[in-house]
Chains A and B, each alone.
Chain A
Amino acid sequence: MSRAAKEISPIEIYKYLPKTNCGACGEKTCMAFATKLANREARLEECPELLKPEYKEAYQALWEILKPPVREVVIGSGEKAVKVGGKYVMYRHELTYHNPTLIAIDVEDTLEPEAIRKRVERVQATSYEYIGRLLRLDGIAVRCASGDAERFKEAVRTVAEATDMPLILCCLDPDVLEHALVTVYERKPLLYAATRENWREMAELATGYKCPLAVFAPGDIALLRSLVKTLLAYGVEDLVLDPGTFPGEGFSDTLNNFTMIRRAACKQGDELLGFPLLGVPAVAWLEEAPRELKAWREACMAAMLLARFADLLIMHSLDGWVHLPIMIWRENIYTDPRKPVSVESGLRTFGEPDEMAPVLVTTNYALTYFTVENDVKAAKLDCYLLVVDTEGLSVQSAVAGRKLTAELIADAIRESGIEERVKHRYVIIPGMAARLSGELEELSGWRVLVGPMDSSGIPKFLAEKWPPEEEA
């Protein structure tokens, strides 16, 4: 039985290590390595001694201790392969969540090839720059709505030619599925799905073509466990669980089922439920409602499923206003809570600022800083940016929580040496920190200009307000 990361102590791990302090793993001592292992910051294989035959038993014992309660499954092949699951904990603060949720967009095989290509192209082109990273969608789920083997095969082929993203093949008829699978099995698509009716044929496909397999038991966790047990006995190991995503009133059961499954796996060591969970917000589109409302509800369900343990999502909407918050929320919840998301405080220089260059103030929260940096760079401004240590809080939160105060800014001005670099004494503070301006003028002796509420307004603000009139 696998255990929650929190329950594993470095001492317990240390017992099995060679205790030679050889340093080959990069740590000075075996105890330090044990601590890294317990924190999931190192892998067993980094200790060469452990891989020797005399440590076979120790290695196996450690492997048992350290394996995640939710198995890691790979979908896709080559560079675009994506790992899902591999979760060590139920709650993010217990360690961190590994392997960000895979978000796939569906494609229906009844669409014309040209429409399919367009849809795939749209999914591939979706990207948003956020804190210096590109957020993207990850995969395509091809659904057999036609019931026609040839048609499904053509659709799968069209998708496969249009993208090298991981694929999910959705078809509950094993014969129809295999007809399409033969053309793309080397891409290791996720096969969706084994059910009470078709599990044996699906198991044959999964073992024969060596592809991961989803298990679909809507609203029935006992059936889900039965199917998993049977499939494991059949020799299928890479499983993904779909306990059913219900739209409307049934969504409560969905969240409860996801929660119970993840708790059983992480807190009770239930190995039949220790697999990645697949959520299908696309079912929002089964309900009668205007188009926008269906997309809206799909976004709501996706956000909640991301919070409640979904390791994969299949979505239907192609709307950017649906994708954007979901991609960002996924990025957020998968950040490591052990690492502060902050940048170094201090004075930054952009372009070639002279002694009359503007001096801007921001916080050291990474997102805030990178947003300001992007805007300043994009506008090719020559300026100074004073990054105040707000313990990694954004301007709004820092002002409310008194982590960005007039005193802190005044200190930062003094310590930064900016007084020697510029001739003027004007500092521009974020619009959301406007209320600090009076006190800041008193404490620092600098005149305060209240900048825009959002850093995207900086170029316009400077064009209109800089240099300040008295100096002009």
Chain B
Amino acid sequence: MGEERKREGETAESFLAQFLPELVELLSKFESIELEDVELYAERLALEFLPVAPAVAPAPAPPKPLELLMEGFEEPVMTYPGRVLEVKLGATRSEGGSRGRVVVIGGETCPPFYLFESPPPHRPVITMDVFDTKVPLPKAYKAHIKDVMHDPAEWAKRHVEKFGADMVTVHLISTDPLGEDRSPREAAKTIEEVLQAVDVPIVVGGAGDPHKDAEVFKYIAEMAAGERLMFSSVTLDMAEAGTLEPAAKAIAEGGHVVLAFTPIDLNLARELNRKLYEFVPRDSIVMDLTTAALGYGIEYSYTVMERARLAALMGDKELQHPMSAAPSNSWAAREAWMKEEELGPEWGPRELRGPLWETLTGLILLLAGVDLFMVGHPATARTLKEFIDVLMSRGKAKGADIENWVSASLG
């Protein structure tokens, strides 16, 4: 009987300690006045209230546990009313195209890589950049493609065959009316050549002019009907210029996909999607919410993408589209391309700094929910693939592998 009461007493003590940690904290903090890391309110509270509470004599310290107090853990799984739409890119012969490989992105039912809820239904994919004309590119970027940069088809082949790209993006920079102003027909020829050179799905990139891009997109959408290309990108500028409707219609009629670009603003993203729903099936829209590079506003991109994905899962139908991002933008960061002598020798060679900059921009946005990455450097493509592989499944960790990391020689 006595034994039992003692046990009960102990249980009560540890119960108190568990449920009133603030109380325990308060007392012990008051006892140890030399402790510097006191939370201000706790300290003030103790000092202010002590005079009116003289009964706060040191309570008998709870007995220290002799054994580990065992606890369980239930994985904090939630359910979500919404899910992200699946979008298929590329089409095989039997589907009306000519691709040997197609990819499907999206379909998520929980936040990015919350595998304890459900594994992502599809791997995020990588599309690598090809330009149809000379563009200024940093040295570390060019190192692996220098010999093929004059030929988009060869360049595309290099990406697919050597660097393992899932897709290729052809940026039709030469169509810029403020630049070379090449015709839609010439642009279409380039796309045709790339389609013949590789058998992966293709992204068609414009030059950023709302009138010209629409013309080019329309022409190519008709020419390559059935290929399920993705057109990068359609914008609210096009809507303003009155070119969104014809472009979107032609893209939809050709059975292709649009990439809807908006500048880091969920309301604008919704607005553009609403406009697109009139012409384009919902399963043919991918969103580009703008990729700002690491150090150049990436936190805005990260947060807007994270919010978009959470909203989609919570049932916001206007945001339930897969997301695309362009880590290749990060080559604009001076920390990525600058020579050691200029940036400071302590920051290491740009041959490592540059691709790492692009890689980290990609990995960070991977965790915000991006499904499709536009990438420039092969090291970025490879590292993203490596980590995507790792993140697709769990249960591989072995405690024994790291339990002695403290005493290991790390070299």
Please, how many angstroms separate the alpha-carbon atoms of A272 and B68 in the complex? Answer: 14
Query: Is B52 an interface residue when CB atoms closer than 8 A count as contact?
Result: yes
Q: A324: nearest residue on chain B (CB-CB)?
A: B347
| Contact code string B396-411 (vs A, CB < 8 Å = 1, else 0) | 1111011101111111
Please, how many angstroms separate the alpha-carbon atoms of A285 and B409 in the complex? Answer: 9
Please, how many angstroms separate the alpha-carbon atoms of A308 and B261 in the complex? Answer: 27
Please, how many angstroms separate the alpha-carbon atoms of A52 and B30 in the complex? Answer: 18
Contact A432 B332 (CB under 8 A): yes
Contact A233 B65 (CB under 8 A): yes
Could you tell me which residues of chain B, from 375 to 409, have a CB within 8 Å of some CB in chain A?
383, 387, 390-399, 401-403, 405-409
Contact B41 A44 (CB under 8 A): yes
Query: Is B359 an interface residue when CB atoms closer than 8 A count as contact?
Result: yes
Contact A233 B18 (CB under 8 A): yes
- Given contacts A233-B69, A263-B76, A401-B263, whether A143 and B407 have CB atoms under 8 Å apart is yes
Contact A43 B297 (CB under 8 A): no
Among B293, B307, B391, which residue has its beta carbon within 8 angstroms of that of A93?
B307
Q: B50: nearest residue on chain A (CB-CB)?
A: A53
Contact B295 A81 (CB under 8 A): no
Of A8-16, A157-165, A314-322, A350-358, which binds chain B?
Answer: A314-322
Contact B298 A329 (CB under 8 A): yes
Q: A146: nearest residue on chain B (CB-CB)?
A: B407
Q: B348: nearest residue on chain A (CB-CB)?
A: A321
Could you tell me which residues of chain B, from 16 to 70, have a CB within 8 Å of some CB in chain A?
17-18, 21-22, 24-25, 28, 32, 34-37, 39-41, 44-45, 48-49, 51-52, 61-62, 64-65, 68-70
Please, how many angstroms separate the alpha-carbon atoms of A465 and B80 in the complex? Answer: 59
Please, how many angstroms separate the alpha-carbon atoms of A328 and B113 in the complex? Answer: 24
Contact B363 A210 (CB under 8 A): no
11 contacts between A and B (CB under 8 A): A45-B40, A74-B36, A144-B407, A225-B73, A229-B18, A252-B394, A291-B411, A325-B294, A401-B263, A403-B263, A454-B334
Could you tell me which residues of chain B, from 336 to 371, have a CB within 8 Å of some CB in chain A?
337-338, 342, 344, 346-349, 352-353, 356-357, 359-360, 363-364, 367-368
Of A25-33, A216-224, A414-422, which binds chain B?
Answer: A216-224
- Given contacts A143-B406, A328-B295, A393-B263, whether A249 and B41 have CB atoms under 8 Å apart is no
Contact B410 A272 (CB under 8 A): no
Among A44, A203, A226, A292, which residue has its beta carbon within 8 angstroms of that of B71?
A226
Query: Is A429 an interface residue when CB atoms closer than 8 A count as contact?
Result: no
Could you tell me which residues of chain A, from 48 to 74, have a CB within 8 Å of some CB in chain B?
51-53, 56, 59-60, 63-64, 67, 72-74
Contact B48 A397 (CB under 8 A): no
Could you tell me which residues of chain A, from 108 to 124, have a CB within 8 Å of some CB in chain B?
108, 110
Q: A439: nearest residue on chain B (CB-CB)?
A: B178
Contact B405 A280 (CB under 8 A): yes
Chain A residues, CB < 8 A from B368:
307
Contact A397 B76 (CB under 8 A): no
Chain A residues, CB < 8 A from B387:
251, 300, 304
Contact A332 B410 (CB under 8 A): no
Please, how many angstroms separate the alpha-carbon atoms of A125 and B346 in the complex? Answer: 10
Q: Report the count of interface residues on B (CB-CB < 8 A).
A: 109
Please, how many angstroms separate the alpha-carbon atoms of A64 and B307 in the complex? Answer: 28
Contact A225 B71 (CB under 8 A): yes
Q: B387: nearest residue on chain A (CB-CB)?
A: A300
Could you tell me which residues of chain A, from 208 to 243, have a CB within 8 Å of some CB in chain B?
210, 212, 218-222, 224-227, 229-230, 232-235, 237-238
Query: Is B190 an interface residue when CB atoms closer than 8 A count as contact?
Result: no
Please, how many angstroms separate the alpha-carbon atoms of A226 and B67 in the complex? Answer: 10
Could you tell me which residues of chain A, from 243 to 269, have a CB within 8 Å of some CB in chain B?
244-256, 259-260, 263-264, 267-268
Chain A residues, CB < 8 A from B44:
45, 51
Please, how many angstroms separate the alpha-carbon atoms of A263 and B114 in the complex? Answer: 11
Nearest first, the 7 closest Cβ-Cβ pairs linking A and B are A401-B263, A74-B37, A321-B348, A250-B397, A253-B397, A249-B396, A285-B410
Query: Is A410 an interface residue when CB atoms closer than 8 A count as contact?
Result: no
Chain B residues, CB < 8 A from A192:
406
Contact B71 A272 (CB under 8 A): yes
Pair count A-B, CB < 8 A: 318
Q: A298: nearest residue on chain B (CB-CB)?
A: B410
Query: Is A333 an interface residue when CB atoms closer than 8 A count as contact?
Result: yes
Query: Is A36 an interface residue when CB atoms closer than 8 A count as contact?
Result: no
Chain A residues, CB < 8 A from B332:
396, 432, 453-454
Query: Is A424 an interface residue when CB atoms closer than 8 A count as contact?
Result: no
Q: Which of the four size classes fits the interface of chain A?
A: 35 or more
Among B70, B113, B393, which residue has its beta carbon within 8 angstroms of that of A255?
B113
Please, how many angstroms separate the alpha-carbon atoms of A256 and B119 in the complex? Answer: 11
A327 → chain B, closest Cβ, in Å?
10
Contact B28 A235 (CB under 8 A): yes
Q: A316: nearest residue on chain B (CB-CB)?
A: B410
Query: Is B2 an interface residue when CB atoms closer than 8 A count as contact?
Result: no
- Given contacts A219-B399, A264-B76, whether A53 and B52 have CB atoms under 8 Å apart is yes
Query: Is A170 an interface residue when CB atoms closer than 8 A count as contact?
Result: yes
Query: Is A346 an interface residue when CB atoms closer than 8 A count as contact?
Result: no
Chain B residues, CB < 8 A from A403:
263
A336 → chain B, closest Cβ, in Å?
10
Among B18, B298, B363, B397, which residue has its beta carbon within 8 angstroms of that of A304?
B363
Please, how many angstroms separate the alpha-carbon atoms of A64 and B42 in the complex? Answer: 11
Query: Is B176 an interface residue when CB atoms closer than 8 A count as contact?
Result: yes
| Contact code string A284-315 (vs B, CB < 8 Å = 1, else 0) | 01100001101010011001100110000000
Contact A251 B390 (CB under 8 A): yes
Given contact pairs A210-B34, A282-B405, A402-B236, enumerate 6 new A-B contacts (beta carbons under 8 Å). A63-B22, A203-B64, A245-B402, A253-B394, A307-B364, A454-B334
- Given contacts A45-B40, A53-B52, A401-B264, whether A253 and B346 have CB atoms under 8 Å apart is no
